[in-house]
Amino acid sequence: MESKVILLVILLSLAPCWNVSAQEKTLAGEISAVPLRVDVRGNGAKFNEYRDLRGGVHSHIGLRYDRDRTYMDFQAEDIGYKDQKYELNGGRRGSFRFHLRYDEIPHHFTFGSRASP
Amino acid sequence: MGEPIRMAEVEKSPAFGLSTFTSDERDMMKKAILVLSIVPVLAFLGGGLCLQEAAGSNGTVGVEVCKGCHEDHFKTYMISTHSKKSIPGSPASQEGCESCHGPGAAHVEKSGEGGVGIFIFSKKLADAKAKSAKCLECHSEQKDLTFWDIARHKIEGVSCDNCHTVHSGTRMNLKAPQPDLCNFCHKSIRSQQNRTSHHPIREGKMKCTDCHEHHGGFGATKIKASSVNELCYQCHAEKRGPFMWSHPPVDENCLTCHVSHGSNHNKLLSSRVPQLCRNCHDYVRHPSTPTTRFETFQGPTPSNKMFARSCLNCHGNIHGSNGPSTRGKTFVR
């Protein structure tokens, strides 16, 4: 559900960009995927206190649309992990700008602890 | 009276020519024609010179001329917001490079020689006040620069170009992302951020500007709230209360017990519990007698004051409690 909302917001925000004009336009993007193997020796909860650095593929997507006056910048990091982050900046220079951010911040105190009965 | 009659005769004469005039008159007319023909030529040339002077009266040469020599700077300028012509008041909509660096005609005439009135954003060649003033020519009306005149950064000689660069396509034209940009000067804060207990700054989940007003504000640390507590409650809302039993230091200032950037004690505490608690609770209920071997791990009955979370083992709701009994009053539940 969350991902659908995020996708909808992105699409709605990009809608003004399709107003084609003779102005100079730039659409640039980058996608990176980094396979990661993590071996923690010690306090794993402290190591991952505010992050989710598990083994797996950590990805990053960046898209930038820049017209002479209108711009839009979308960034997504660690998609699918507990510290995933989506950020959308856009606006019309000289008129308005907006900043939408969805950022998950885990806070791990301990892993595998037992509660007293 | 003879002159008009002669002119009338001339007009009527079918064979009009200089021969009808005397030699003196012919010389006069030749001079007049010469003068009349020279005047427009001189006027044209003079006007041209004047126009040329008017075009160069502000001494500008245009972006293309600058590009000829400073191509690298031009490329970085072109990816910045300042190069957008459609933005009213942007450098591109005015004089381009010369909007900020000043007119370049003299600089070009002297084949790129320095010291000819070109404004360079350099520490050696311009002081902070002059550099900031150059930016404020356009940005003075910006909302977040309202308190720039009383900003600590300004007083300490920090100028706009210490953090921002015109020649960049980064967000807000920053020279580096946060917190690295701020930590470049605030090294003690960087040290605190790297302690075991810290806000998620180095993980990239928080920025310095989430809490601080970098362009100036009120209070010693220019926080973005009327008090420290109000700032902390923006994220830690559960600590706000209201509680049936409130802990007075919590209401006064979070920084009574906590430090903001980082600590080597749990929960960003300024010192370890129970020592922290004993700063105030020096002789109430649990006597704060010096810890003996019987109260430490070494004795046969180790004290719970020294185990795990110490005082917080029992007084878990230390920020405030809604427990309707003495257990609530003592923040036990």
pLDDT at B14 over 80: no
Q: Which residue from B87, B88, B205 is facing A103, i.e. has the nearest CB?
A: B205
Rounded to a whole number of angstroms, the distance from the CA of B203 to the nearest CA of chain A is 7
Q: What is the mean pLDDT of chain A?
A: 81
For residues A31 and A58, give the distance between their C-alpha atoms in angstroms, rounded to a whole number: 11
* pLDDT tens digits, one per residue of B190-210: 999 999 999 999 999 999 999
Burial of A86 (0-12, 13-18, 19+ CB in 10 A): buried
Which residue has better confidence, A16 or B259? B259
Query: A83 and B205 in contact by Cβ < 8 A?
Result: yes
Residue A103 contacts B, CB cutoff 8 Å = yes
**Any idea which of B3-7, B72-76, B291-295 has the lowest mean pLDDT?**
B3-7
Residue B196 contacts A, CB cutoff 8 Å = yes
pTM for the whole structure = 0.72
Query: B84 and A46 in contact by Cβ < 8 A?
Result: no
Query: A69 and B86 in contact by Cβ < 8 A?
Result: yes
* pLDDT tens digits, one per residue of A52-83: 998 999 999 999 998 878 889 999 999 999 99
pLDDT at B87 over 50: yes
Residue A50 contacts B, CB cutoff 8 Å = yes
Query: B200 and A105 in contact by Cβ < 8 A?
Result: yes
For residue B89, list chain A residues with Cβ-Cβ distance below 8 A: 94
Angstrom distances, CA of residue A79 to CA of A6, A44, A99, B18, B203: 12, 21, 19, 99, 16
- What confidence tier does A1 reach under pLDDT thresholds 50, 70, 90? very low
**Any idea which of A21-25, A66-70, B127-131, B260-264 has the lowest mean pLDDT?**
A21-25
Predicted ipTM? 0.73
Which residue has better confidence, B21 or B74? B74
Q: What is the mean pLDDT of chain B?
A: 79
Residue B115 contacts A, CB cutoff 8 Å = no
Q: Which residues of B3-23 are buried (b: 16+ CB within 10 A; e: fewer)?
A: eeeeeeeeeeeeeeeeeeeee
For residue A46, list chain B residues with Cβ-Cβ distance below 8 A: 196
Q: Are A71 and A45 in contact (CB under 8 A)?
A: no
Q: In the prediction, which pLDDT does B208 show?
A: 94
List, in sequence order, every residue forming a beta bridge with B287; answer none if it has no partner.
B283
Residue A105 contacts B, CB cutoff 8 Å = yes
Q: Which residues of B295-326 are buried (b: 16+ CB within 10 A; e: fewer)?
A: beeeeeeebebeeeebbbeebebbbbbebeee
Query: A69 and B171 in contact by Cβ < 8 A?
Result: no
Q: Which residue from B81, B88, B203 is facing A50, i.e. has the nearest CB?
A: B203
* pLDDT tens digits, one per residue of B109-168: 877 777 677 788 877 777 888 889 889 988 888 888 888 988 889 988 899 989 998 888
